[in-house]
Structure 1
Amino acid sequence: MEIILLAFAVSFVLTLVIGRFVLAELRKLKAGQEIRADGPTWHKSKAGTPTMGGVMFILGVGITIFILGWGYMLEGQFTHLYIYLFALVFGMIGFVDDYRKVRQHQNEGLTAKQKFILQLAAAVLFLSLMRYEGLLSNELYVPFFNVAFTLNWILYLIFAAFVIVGCVNAVNLTDGVDGLATGVTFVVMVFFTVTGVLWSEHGMQALFPAAMAGGLMAFFLYNHHPAKVFMGDTGSLFLGGAVAALGFTFGTPLILIPVGVVYIAETLSDIIQVAYFKATHGKRFFKMAPLHHHLELSGWSETKLVVVFSGITAVCCVLAYLGVRARY
């Protein structure tokens, strides 16, 4: 338990300190965010805010788990390292995307096809590694019903790869309001930390989410409204990879449904908007998609969005724990 609390504290301090240097460098490099032309009009004031700030917590978390997880690695336990490296690959994809946006001074970096191929390749590589190391089961546990189904390995890997890619992009969609993806994912990381500590089998795996929680709390001090820095795709894809990887390494990927209810709602709102627009030849179901923009245009402040969405996530995380506790 002590090492888990230490991971939280060390990651918080490191991210806070690293953040000061990273923010200064991003300003020097003029790595400003381009704002989507069709977004809420008041978002135009955010133009030029440094992006790629996800580097702050990526470094803070990485240093923390390497130092505090060294003892585990000497014992041959590398799960926390695999999760971090997997998330890092997604963060690197996001970094390339952000870098292109900054260089080209537009809100589009990699194409959707390029990102999908890279993300799918990363997911397959991670799943193959976890299976090779004996850390991945093809048993699909159903929360709340306490039943499990064993799937054919090929079928399971296809299912898992698309769940990972979907999760990564859902988290990315949520990052459209100051502090929103940070706040919601902080709650998710607290959930995985607590469950990791309570389930002795996964006690070691609590190290990574604890470090993530500390890093995100520190980053929130830079990212809350009005944001001094955005995490960019560098940060949001890293977070998505981390959330997805934790779901699978804990052996309960379906738990991502209640835990990630906000991510799912954001994604569904985007899908509904596009489908409705095409079906009605130009009409919109929401004022703007994803959901947080619709609520903004309905009068919600950015601070209210963060508080409410994080609160909903917290409630769903409690329900999620009740749904899987019979398994352990």
Structure 2
Amino acid sequence: MDIGLISVILAALLSFLIGVFAVPSIAKANGRRGVMGVDVHKPHRPSIPEACGLAIICAAVPPLIVAAPLHGWGEPLREYTALTVLGLTAGLIGLWDDLKPLSPRVKPLLTALAGLPILLLHVYTPRPMLPFIGATRLTIVYPLLILVGVAVTANAVNMMDVFNGVMPGTCGIIAAFTTVTLMAMGRWSVAYASAALTGALAAFYIYNRYPARVFAGDSGSLFVGAMLGGIAIIGRLEIFMIVALMPHIMNAFYSLSSIGRLYERREVASRPIRILDDYRLDASPDRRAPLTLARIILVHGPLDERGLIRIMTALTLLSSILAVSTLLMVPGVR
């Protein structure tokens, strides 16, 4: 078996095993400290340990730290260093927001700065590949697009993390598709990083799936979103990631455009989803409520939470398949 394939499998297994043990440990610690969130989509509104996305960080980062001997000390080391610093920065910003809420204007700026390691270590190629066109040349503007891209992916994933299992489930699908795509293209060092993220998300999903026993919090969702953005930039899969994350990006776009400004969920006067007497979820008729992907889905009729989660997961699976199809339209990519 090829050493690259073995290393990718080991990265996923290592991060998964670390995550399986890290999640309950961090959940217990956060519970003792009173770091709790409320599951607002349950009729009895249970309190759930919050900020447990720290376990995703604890699971995904160690494989990157030990990766250099497997893939070399040159460019792979710089790639892993950039991704590690990027992920830790985004995770710390998220933890800060979990413990002391940040301004909705400050958080996107801070998450954009998380992309600086990619620039400083110069582990990017300013020639993104587009369908039917191939490689473009964006030497001057591309560094700015890196910062914007990391902020967009991080905050789009963060805004999608509102139902049990949706964040690790959908992002796990995207990370898995990304890993296989990078392997097929022979980009083993970045595939290794993507596999580590996939394993960490799979472990977290076990505890976050319906009914959730833990919440990721911003520490988890911002870390995952920033890592997906960083992996796409370093692996030259920018258009692939845009298409794969389309449900998350459109959810964020609809929400922000309907409110007309940057906002935090805590600031919303009326929630987009209401709970009916039979415990099903329905779209809010209140015009002040933000327009979200979930609200659009529920316009067609009420669903239980599991049904809504299945639809959102299916949309991400479809967008990931479309991402692969889109990549095949890029000249020279087969």
TM-score scaled to structure 1, two decimals? 0.84
Deviation of the 1:44 alpha carbon: 6.5
In the other structure, the counterpart of 1:106 is none
Q: Counterpart of 1:302 in structure 2: which amino acid? A: E
Mind listing any 5+ residue stretches in structure 1 that lack a counterpart? 101-108, 277-281
| CA distance in 2 between partners of 1:255 and 1:310 (Å) | 18
**Structure 2 CA distance, aligned partners of 1:80 and 1:306?**
33
* Distance in 2 (alpha carbons) for counterparts of 1:44 and 1:152: 54
Superposed, 1:126-145 pairs within 5 Å as 126-131=117-122, 135-143=123-131, 145=132
Aligned mates of 1:140, 1:262 — CA distance in 2: 22
Gaps of 5+ in 2: 262-269, 271-284
1: CA distance, partners of 2:81 / 2:117: 12
Distance (Å, rounded) in 1 between the aligned partners of 2:287 and 2:43: 22
Quick one: structure 1 residues 81 and 128, their matched pair in 2 at CA, closer, same or farther if it must change by over 3 Å? closer
The reply on whether 1:228 has 2:232 as its aligned counterpart is no
Give the aligned length. Answer: 303
Equivalence for 1:20: 24
In the alignment, the residues of structure 2 paired with residue 320 and residue 130 of structure 1 have an alpha-carbon distance, to the nearest angstrom, of 28
Partner of 1:164: 150
Normalised TM-score (structure 2) = 0.82
Once the two structures are TM-superposed, the CA of residue 69 in structure 1 deviates from its matched residue by: 4.4
Which residue of structure 2 lines up, in the alignment, with residue 29 of structure 1? 33
Deviations 1:130-186 (A, max 9, x none): 42xxx212213213x142321242x22223322221221111100011111111100
Distance in 2 separating the partners of 1:234 and 1:31: 12
Q: Percent identity?
A: 21
Q: Over residues 247-303 of structure 1, what are the superposed CA-to-partner deviations in whole Å (9 max), with x where a residue is unaligned? A: 111123222221111112211220342249xxxxx9966965322255468422332
Find out whether 1:327 has 2:318 as its counterpart.
no
Tell me: CA distance 1:62–1:43, structure 2 relative to 1, closer, same or farther (3 Å). farther
State the distance in 2 between where 1:294 and 1:26 align.
Answer: 34
Which residue identity is paired with 1:148? A
User: Alpha carbons of 1:127 and 1:230: their partners in 2 closer, same or farther (altered >3 Å)?
Assistant: same
Aligned to 2:291: 289
**Corresponding residue of 1:185:** 171
> For the structure 1 residues 43 and 150, does the alpha-carbon distance in structure 2 shift closer, same or farther, using more than 3 Å as the test?
farther
Counterpart position of 1:93: 93
Contact 2:108 2:155 in 1 (8 A): no
Taking the aligned partners of 1:250 and 1:67, their CA distance within structure 2 comes to 19
Of the three residues 89, 107, 119, the one matched with 1:115 is 107
Residues 288 and 77 (structure 1), Cα distance of their counterparts in 2 relative to 1, 3 Å cut: closer
Question: Which segment drifts farther, 224-233 or 80-89?
Answer: 80-89
Aligned equivalent of 1:258: 243
**Does residue 303 in structure 1 map to residue 302 in structure 2?**
no
Deviation at 1:128, TM superposition (A): 1.9
2:264 aligns with none
Tell me the alpha carbon deviations over residues 105-139 of structure 1, each in whole angstroms, 9 at most, x when there is no partner: xxxx011222133223222x2342242xxx21221
3-state SS, counterpart of residue 327 of structure 1? coil
